[in-house]
């Protein structure tokens, strides 16, 4: 070896060591391939070069220099196998691309790809030596290339995992937020923000179908038009998401609004709402996993919306229940705790309050040792308002009773007071009378109440004298009263319409006729027994059907 040759070898060696150091210090595939190409081209004075890599068994062009764009695009897609270098398609491509040298890049057990170099600038052919040197360069590079390919692959996997983690985070975050019983408008907003942020969507809408009502909660599409188009049963029954293709085919009008994806929001297999989305701004299609994600967050949202609704409903129910309890309390306190005893009269009372607390009222007020007042009434309406009006009535009644006023005068006064005190159209049907123990007589006024029955010797006489119901207007026509001299064994039966209008399961009413017949039949019994008969008969008629009205009966028997 002469001196110049030895210098040349030394320089080559130094260059190789430097080259090895540089490419092995990086894991950036582009940087490494670039370096390999430039080194080869510089060494062999080649004007063009390319590197194609084995990606999942297929040879793909990965880096090139000096190769026209058009030629790059023509690179054949080839399987990597034993005969790769002799592949005719590849050979054709080489001659077209004026590529002359080709060498495999091999790892210990695999072909990583190929390097191809174009003709030399000095038009000299590639020599045996050149080929050996090229092999050396590639041997040095192969581990760096292999490592960086793995890193590349990992980073793709990582990115995929990152986006999965990101989606899971979104799901997690939303489920946390949705658990807070937020307003449905807020839930919908968070839902769409999450979706449009995740998928780069510009237009969206969220609808719910709850209790048969279609509600547009959020919409960037024309709301009115949307409601029109979605008001078909098709959407209530929509079980699977509709893709752009399906919408375009079946629902052209929706498609024309720009809707490219419809995802149902389902709860226990029922479609309770829809999410509508426009195209993605980055022009990507919604993938299956995208749609799955949207379906999941949609379901989370609808659960939250539905839960809140049920919660509210339960709350309202509870509130009503509480209110009814108050009404029941008021009503209970108004009814007499003890029935006064008089020697000429046998008295029995029954008052059954319905679930909703009706407005039945009865009272027996002791005036003195000889006289007492009996009253029965039915306040229109139910619940607390009825109970309060009833309380008013009782207060007026108790006051006027003790003033020693004439019954008709007192009734007129009470009517005036009630009229003044009701503004919402409430009224009271009312009957009251004064019973005299010594004279065994009744003086009564009936202000529009169901006619009480007086049963004497199997004949019914209705106590119907009086005037207009209380509370409708101030007294214009005076009330009239009636005096009745009672005889031993006379029965007076006072009741409210809860008895005669008690319903059976066919919604038929118990009726006045039935009550009257029963009253005549059982008139010989004691007050208490008569009351029991009525109660048993009405209950047998209703057979457990829940009654909407209170039932009150007062039986007074002259003895």
Partner 1 sequence: MAEFSTSTKDAGDINVIYLKGYLDAHTAPVLENTFSDLIEKSRYSIVVNFGELAYISSAGLGVFMAFIEKIRENNGDIKLAGMSDKVYNIFDLLGFPLLYEIFKSEEDAIKKFDEIKKLEK
State yes or no: residue 357 binds partner 1 (CB under 8 A): no
Among 189, 308, 309, 456, binds partner 1 (CB under 8 A): 189
User: Which residue, 205 or 324, is less far from partner 1 as judged by CB?
Assistant: 205
Answer yes or no whether residue 185 interacts with partner 1 by CB under 8 A: no
Report how far residue 118's alpha carbon sits from residue 107's, in angstroms, rounded to the nearest whole number.
Answer: 24
| Of 170 and 215, CB closest to partner 1 | 170
Q: Which of 26, 34, 147, 170 binds partner 1 (CB under 8 A)?
A: 170
Task: Report how far residue 304's alpha carbon sits from residue 310's, in angstroms, rounded to the nearest whole number.
Answer: 10
CB of 217 to partner 1, least distance (A): 15
Contact 446, 452 (CB under 8 A): yes
Binding mask 512-541 for partner 1 (x = CB under 8 A): ------------------------------
Alpha carbon distance 495, 508 (integer Å): 19
> Which is nearer to partner 1, 291 or 405 (by Cβ)?
291
Q: Which stretch binds partner 1 (CB under 8 A): 119-127, 193-201, 238-246, 432-440?
A: 193-201
Residue whose CB is less far from partner 1, 281 or 517: 281
Q: Which of 41, 46, 84, 201 binds partner 1 (CB under 8 A)?
A: 201
278-288 residues labelled b (16+ CB within 10 A) or e (exposed): bbbeeeeebee
Q: Which is nearer to partner 1, 167 or 449 (CB)?
A: 167
Distance CA 263, CA 275 (A): 5
Binding segment toward partner 1, per CB under 8 A, in 30-38, 155-163, 205-213, 259-267: 155-163
Nearer to partner 1, 28 or 512 (CB): 28
By C-alpha distance, which of 504, 391, 375, 505 is closest to 447? 375
Q: According to the binding rule CB under 8 A, does residue 181 interact with partner 1?
A: no
Query: 40: Cβ–Cβ under 8 A, 6 or more apart, which residues?
Result: 46, 49, 115, 117, 134, 137
Strands 58-65 and 49-55: antiparallel
* Shortest Å distance, C-beta 474 to partner 1: 57
159 binds partner 1 (CB under 8 A): yes
312 forms part of the interface with partner 1 (CB under 8 A): no
- Per DSSP, the residues of 477-546 read SPP--EEEE--TT-EEEEE-HHHHT-B-TT--B--HHHHHHHHHHTTTS-HHHHHHHHHHHHHHHHTTPP
User: Is 259 near partner 1 (CB under 8 A)?
Assistant: no
Rounded to whole angstroms, the Cα distance separating 530 from 538 reads 12
In whole angstroms, what is the distance from residue 448 CA to residue 430 CA? Answer: 6
Interface positions with partner 1 (CB under 8 A)? 159, 162-163, 166-167, 169-170, 173-174, 176-177, 186, 189-190, 192-202, 281-282, 284
């Amino acid at each position: 070896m002469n001196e110049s040759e030895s210098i040349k070898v030394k320089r080559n060696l130094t260059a190789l060591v430097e080259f090895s150091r540089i490419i092995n210090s990086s894991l950036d595939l582009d940087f490494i391939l670039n370096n390999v190409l430039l080194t080869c081209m510089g060494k062999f004075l080649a004007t063009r070069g390319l590197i194609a890599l084995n990606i999942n068994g297929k040879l793909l062009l990965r880096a090139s220099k000096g190769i026209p764009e058009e030629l790059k695009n023509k690179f054949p897609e080839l399987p990597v196998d034993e005969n790769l270098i002799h592949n005719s398609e590849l050979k054709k491509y080489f001659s077209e691309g004026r590529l002359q040298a080709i060498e495999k890049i091999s790892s210990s057990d695999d072909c990583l790809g190929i390097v191809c170099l174009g003709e030399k600038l000095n038009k000299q052919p590639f020599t045996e030596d050149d080929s050996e040197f090229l092999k050396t360069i590639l041997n040095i590079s192969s581990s760096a290339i292999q490592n960086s390919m793995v890193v590349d692959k990992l980073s793709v996997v990582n990115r995929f995992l990152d986006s999965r983690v990101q989606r899971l985070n979104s799901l997690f975050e939303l489920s946390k937020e949705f658990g807070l019983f937020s307003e449905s408008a807020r839930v919908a907003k968070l839902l769409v923000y999450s979706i449009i942020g995740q998928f780069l969507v510009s237009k969206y809408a969220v609808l719910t179908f709850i209790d048969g009502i279609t509600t547009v909660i959020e919409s960037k599409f024309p709301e009115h038009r949307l409601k029109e188009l979605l008001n078909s049963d098709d959407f209530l029954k929509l079980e699977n998401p509709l893709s752009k293709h399906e919408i375009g085919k079946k629902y052209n009008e929706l498609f024309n609004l720009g809707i490219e994806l419809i995802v149902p929001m389902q709860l226990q297999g029922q479609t309770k709402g829809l999410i509508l989305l426009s195209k993605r701004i980055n022009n990507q299609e919604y993938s299956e996993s995208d749609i799955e994600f949207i379906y999941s967050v949609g379901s989370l949202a609808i659960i939250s919306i539905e839960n809140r609704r049920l919660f509210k409903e339960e709350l309202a129910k509870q509130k009503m229940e509480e209110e009814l309890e108050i009404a029941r309390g008021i009503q209970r306190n108004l009814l007499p705790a003890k029935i006064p005893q008089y020697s000429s009269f046998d008295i029995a009372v029954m008052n059954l309050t319905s679930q909703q607390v009706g407005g039945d009222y009865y009272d027996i007020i002791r005036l003195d040792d000889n006289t007492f007042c009996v009253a029965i009434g039915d306040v229109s309406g139910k619940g607390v308002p009825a109970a309060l009006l009833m309380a008013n009535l009782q207060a007026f009644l108790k006051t006027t009773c003790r003033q020693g006023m004439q019954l008709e005068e007192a009734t007129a006064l009470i009517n005036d007071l009630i009229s003044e005190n009701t503004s919402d159209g409430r009224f009271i049907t009312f009957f009251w009378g004064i019973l005299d123990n010594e004279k065994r007589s009744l003086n009564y006024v009936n202000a529009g109440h169901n006619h009480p029955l007086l049963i004497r010797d199997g004949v019914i006489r209705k106590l119907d004298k009086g005037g207009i119901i209380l509370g409708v207007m101030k007294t214009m026509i005076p009330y009239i009263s009636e005096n009745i001299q009672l005889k031993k064994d006379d029965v007076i039966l006072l009741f409210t319409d809860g008895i005669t209008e008690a319903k059976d399961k066919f919604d038929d009413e118990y009726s006045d006729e039935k009550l009257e017949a029963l009253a005549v039949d059982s008139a010989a019994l004691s007050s208490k027994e008569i009351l029991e008969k009525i109660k048993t008969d009405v209950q047998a008629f209703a057979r457990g059907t829940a009654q909407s009205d209170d039932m009150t009966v007062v039986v007074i028997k002259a003895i």
